[in-house]
Amino acid sequence: LEQEAVAIEEAVDAVLADGLRTADIARKGEPVASTGQFTDAVIAKLQA
């Protein structure tokens, strides 16, 4: 499962690099995504 874990970590990092954040980690004034939107973005990165 090491490869899968690395793929998920890289997808999350890519989504964060794109500027998408959930409310718990967004800075003041940054747009906020729901957890569902964040998850969808991570899945899209995994499928790309």
Confidence of residue 20 (pLDDT cuts 50, 70, 90): very high
| pLDDT reported for residue 23 | 96
Q: How many domains does the structure of the chain reveal?
A: 1
Q: Which domain holds residue 10?
A: 2-47
| pLDDT reported for residue 26 | 96
Confidence of residue 38 (pLDDT cuts 50, 70, 90): very high
| pLDDT reported for residue 27 | 94
Confidence of residue 37 (pLDDT cuts 50, 70, 90): very high
pTM assigned to the model: 0.89
CA 25, 19, 27 angle in degrees (round to 5)? 35
- Residue 32 contacts residue 23 (beta carbons within 8 Å): yes
Alpha carbon 19 to chain centroid distance? 9
